[in-house]
Amino acid sequence: MAEAAENPGPAAKRAVTLPDPIWAPLAVGGLLLAVGLIGLAAGQPWLFPSLGPTAFLQAEEPGKPGSRFYNTVAGHLIGFAAGALAVWVLGASGAPSVLADKELTGIRVGAAAISGVLTMLGLTLLRASHPPAAATMLLVALGGFEPSWRSAAIVGAGVVILAVLGEGVRYVRREIVVPPAR
């Protein structure tokens, strides 16, 4: 065992140290810029508000389960589905969008509450903890995203792009650009 500690693997030998106050902001900015540029190139709105907290999680806490690819993708898709189901069950599609119309209605509040219950239930049952998924469910429940297959595809694409890039960020942070010893 002592020999393993004295002879670290190839990744540890090439690791550089970078403090969190420098690493995390650069990683978050890079992730969001990359998703945005890919979306611009494709002419698709693949950068949306709930990806911000996901990028923060991946940059700031790369070792936490909520930062993992599975949790990220499953979490946001569960959030979208829960928001869409709540809007459908309550018939809230025709209600004003809180984000566009700046009007909060009772039916949208109900959709938000139901989607919260469904999202937490889904995340728990699938062991896919990812707190930023709550922002996705609210975007749907409050009318920021329509509960449609097109919106689901937009959310899915943006999430997968960020999750793939986030895996790279997580690997680099854990193996190559490590935080200083505490």
Q: Is residue 129 part of a domain?
A: yes
Percent of the chain with pLDDT over 70: 92
Q: Is residue 10 part of a domain?
A: no
3-state DSSP call for residue 46? coil
Whether 163 has a pLDDT exceeding 70, the answer reads yes
> What is the mean predicted confidence (pLDDT) over 154-180?
94
Alpha carbon distance 172, 33 (integer Å): 18
Q: Is residue 38 part of a domain?
A: yes
How would residue 10 be classed by pLDDT, with cut points 50, 70 and 90? low
3-state DSSP call for residue 16? strand
Q: Is residue 49 part of a domain?
A: yes
Instruction: State the residue range of the domain holding 130.
Output: 17-177
Q: Is residue 12 part of a domain?
A: no
Question: Residues 15-37: pLDDT tens digits?
Answer: 788 888 999 999 999 999 999 99
Please give the tally of structural domains in the chain: 1
State the average pLDDT for the chain.
92
Q: Write phi, then psi, for 19 (nearest 5 degrees).
A: -65, 150
Tokens of 125: 């049952």
